[in-house]
Amino acid sequence: MLKVMSEKELAQKSVGYRKKILKYIYQAKAGHTGGSLSCIDILNVLYNHTMNVGPGTFDSPDRDRYIQSKGHTVEALYVVLASRGFFPESDLETLCKYQSHYIGHPTRKVHGVEQNTGALGHGLSLSVGTAIAGKLDKRDYRVFTVLGDGELPEGSNWEAALSASHYKLDNLCAILDKNTLQISGPTSAVCNTDPVDEKFEAFGWAVRHVDGHDIGELVTAFDALPFEKGKPSLIIAHTVKGKGVSYMENQLKWHHGVPDQQQYADAIQELDALEVTLA
């Protein structure tokens, strides 16, 4: 059973997760830094507050499912799964190393990972199929998927969005990590998808906006699921790429930038200071 955590405890956890994301990316000299920092608060609340899944229940047919559509920000998922006890955190010392299971995208070789993702635009269809199975089997589990705003132009997302409302999948919740930056520049300049709320609403979804770094808003939104009976839910989480490290925030180069020794030290110092204020 998941321990009930206060919003303060969750906020503290997020800082710790950010430090670990940076640590393992720094050590591996590889990773998707900015996006992992933008979606970590969402994953924190999902795994420490919302979902009924843990290492002991991962084989249960009734567990809630999480499928990471934006697979590249796997470092965020790894540190959360490790903290939930799915595997020893020391495993992450092997991140991206020769013969490690801990590669740069989620795979089922890692305990706790539901689906192998990495190619964009796949998570929503996988989630729709899993949610349909739950309805067919009259099970109460819910399916969560985090989408990146950069992957929304993949047409498969919109195919899946149609099916989700066609089958009235109110057991499905997609969270859009809307950090507004992708590898080539601002998402609005690369391929504008706004107004994304109206698009999903037109596709038959119930949509809410949250500050994707406000633990309280995330908790409130997840607690309110489904937003409408008979409709899939979309949480548009407004986030900051690189959140928590001032020199990384909203800077494109940190999409998959790796900090050097000094930058790493600066980042940890900043997060340590934040930790003190939250204590």
Partner 1 sequence: MDATIENIAVSQRANLEVFSGTLQHLAQTDRDIIVVTSDSRGSGKLVPFGQKFPEQIIEVGIAEQNLVGVAAGLASAGKKVFAVSPACFLTARALEQIKNDVAYSDNPVKLIGISAGVSYGALGSTHHSLHDFAVLRTINNLIVVAPADNFETEQAILLAAETDMPVYIRFGKKQMPLLSEEEKTFEFGKGRVVREGSDLTIIGTGETVAPALLAADKLEREHHISATVVSMHTIKPLDYDLLRNIAASGQPIVTVEEHSVYGGLGEASASFLIQNDFHNRFKIIGIPDEYTVTGSQTEIFNHYGISEGGIAAAALGLVR
Which residues bind to partner 1, rule: CB under 8 A?
A: 61, 107-108, 114-119, 121-122, 124-134, 136-137, 155-156, 159-160, 162-163, 166-167
Q: Nearer to partner 1 by C-beta: 61 or 88?
A: 61
Is residue 160 within 8 A of residue 127, CB to CB? The reply is: yes
Is residue 158 within 8 A of residue 167, CB to CB? The reply is: no
Residue with tokens 């409130």: 220
Q: Nearer to partner 1 by C-beta: 138 or 229?
A: 138
**The token pair that represents 247 in the structure block:** 């020199």
| Closest distance to partner 1 from the beta carbon of 108 (Å) | 6
| Closest distance to partner 1 from the beta carbon of 125 (Å) | 2
| Closest distance to partner 1 from the beta carbon of 121 (Å) | 8
Q: Nearer to partner 1 by C-beta: 33 or 125?
A: 125
| Closest distance to partner 1 from the beta carbon of 191 (Å) | 18
- d(CA 114, CA 118) in angstroms, rounded, equals 13
| Closest distance to partner 1 from the beta carbon of 91 (Å) | 21
Residue with tokens 């030290």: 265
273-81-27 Cα angle (round to 5): 60
| Closest distance to partner 1 from the beta carbon of 263 (Å) | 34
Q: Nearer to partner 1 by C-beta: 168 or 209?
A: 168
Q: Nearer to partner 1 by C-beta: 57 or 250?
A: 57
Is residue 271 within 8 A of residue 18, CB to CB? The reply is: yes
- d(CA 69, CA 115) in angstroms, rounded, equals 9
Buried b (16+ CB within 10 A) or exposed e, 102-129: bbbbbbeebebbbbbbbebbbbbbbbbe
Q: Nearer to partner 1 by C-beta: 161 or 237?
A: 161
